[in-house]
């Protein structure tokens, strides 16, 4: 019976009918109602389980799911009209009586649900063409959206149940009392077939802090000039060494912090050389004045 209902729903969704988020008002029936295509007037709703195909000669298709008369009432009305047909002419149904069956004004929530229902109907129709089966279970996360099951693989029924709207996959679990419940499928841990080896980053040695030579004022002018000259030569050697280190770092794949440290050291050495040469010039001017 459930497979017949699923097949009928899928058939009419392919014809343009919309699977709504309203369930059948009949007792013990939770099948979602189908709505006629938007280009068709008047708008019709039918239950694939209770009403059958809407195009059948004796279909019980109704204009709204909230109003469904019992069969006994319909039968009594039909019999009474049949008995009085010989004496009373048939009563014409005017368009004014249809106002009693008008749907309530559409709200933002109902419009959103209708759009979601239209999207779900389209996607379910595509899945049915690929061999998927529509189930009677509804998604706990999406209102009134039936779940679908993938095609049977190798003759075995797939336990997964997927929602076409939110994409969540559920499985049925049975508790100790035998009650069934839908739970989210636990994602399987994926182990890579080939271990990925991440190369370790090569440690770039941090250049040592270059000491800035502080010239010492000596009592003898000649000793001070010699000290300044030695300091300048030492700083120039350090500058050449740091420049070579910076060139090798920029040519390779060193990190930015190492390059920044070397650049700061070069800046400090250049400043120290400038200060030493300024002191050397001052000392020369002082010696000439004496």
In a domain, 280, yes or no: yes
Total domains in the fold of the chain: 2
Residue 192 covered by a domain: no
Expressed as residue numbers, the domain containing 146 is: 2-69+111-184
Residue at 76 is within a domain: no
Question: Does residue 79 lie within any of the structural domains?
Answer: no
Domain shared by 132 and 228, yes or no: no
Q: Burial-class residue 162 by CB neighbours within 10 Å (0-12, 13-18, 19+).
A: buried
The whole-number pLDDT of residue 170 equals: 92
Q: What's the confidence (pLDDT) of residue 169?
A: 92
* Nearest residue to 121 (alpha-carbon basis) of 92, 156, 148: 148
| pLDDT at position 51 | 78
Question: What pTM value is reported for the model?
Answer: 0.35
**How does DSSP assign 178-202, residue by residue?**
S-EEEEEPPPPPPPPSSPPPPPPPP
Nearest by Cα to 204 from 147, 250, 145: 250
Report pLDDT for 131: 82
Q: State whether 158 and 227 are in the same domain.
A: no
Integer-rounded Cα radius of gyration of the chain: 44
Residue 173 and residue 237 in one domain: no
The token pair at 78 is 């039909």
Q: Which residues contact 184 (CB under 8 A, 6 or more apart)?
A: 168, 169, 170
pLDDT of res. 276: 81
Q: What is the pLDDT of residue 235?
A: 80
pLDDT in the model for residue 92: 55
Q: In this predicted structure, what is the pLDDT of residue 113?
A: 80
For the chain, which residues score pLDDT lower than 50?
58-59, 61-86, 96-99, 190, 193, 216-219
Residues 118 and 168 in one domain: yes
pLDDT of residue 209: 60
Alpha-carbon distance of 175 to 104, in angstroms, equals 42
Tell me whether residue 212 is in a domain: no
Longest dimension (CA), the chain: 148
204 within some domain: no
Picking from 184, 209, 232, the residue at the C-terminal end of a domain is 184
Q: Please tell me the predicted confidence (pLDDT) of residue 163.
A: 92
Residues 46 and 118 placed together within one structural domain of the fold: yes
> Is 105 contained in some domain?
no
């Amino acid at each position: 019976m459930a497979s017949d209902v699923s097949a009928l729903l899928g058939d009419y969704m392919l014809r343009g009918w919309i699977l709504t988020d309203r369930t059948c008002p009949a007792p013990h029936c939770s099948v979602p109602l189908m709505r006629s295509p938007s280009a068709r007037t008047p708008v019709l709703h039918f239950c694939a389980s209770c009403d059958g195909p809407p195009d059948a000669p004796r279909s019980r298709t109704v204009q709204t799911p909230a109003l469904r008369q019992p069969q006994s009432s319909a039968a009594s009305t039909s019999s009474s009209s049949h008995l009085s047909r010989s004496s009373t002419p048939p009563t014409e149904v005017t368009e004014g009586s249809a106002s009693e069956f008008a749907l309530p004004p559409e709200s933002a929530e109902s419009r959103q649900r209708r759009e979601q229902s239209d999207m779900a109907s389209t996607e379910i129709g595509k899945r049915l063409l690929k061999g998927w089966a529509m189930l009677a279970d509804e998604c706990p996360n999406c209102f009134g959206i039936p779940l679908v099951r993938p095609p049977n693989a190798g003759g075995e029924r797939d336990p997964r149940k997927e929602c076409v709207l939110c994409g969540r996959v559920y499985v049925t679990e049975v508790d100790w009392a035998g009650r069934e419940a839908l739970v989210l499928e636990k994602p399987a841990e994926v182990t890579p077939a080939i271990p990925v080896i991440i190369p370790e980053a090569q440690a770039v040695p941090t250049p040592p802090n270059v000491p800035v030579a502080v010239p010492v004022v000596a009592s003898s002018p000649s000793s001070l000039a010699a000290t300044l000259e030695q300091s300048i030569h030492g700083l120039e050697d350090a500058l050449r060494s740091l420049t070579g280190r910076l060139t090798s770092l920029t040519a390779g794949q060193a990190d930015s912090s190492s390059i920044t440290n070397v650049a700061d050291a070069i800046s400090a050495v250049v400043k120290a050389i400038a200060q030493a040469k300024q002191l050397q010039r001052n000392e020369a001017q002082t010696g000439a004045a004496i």
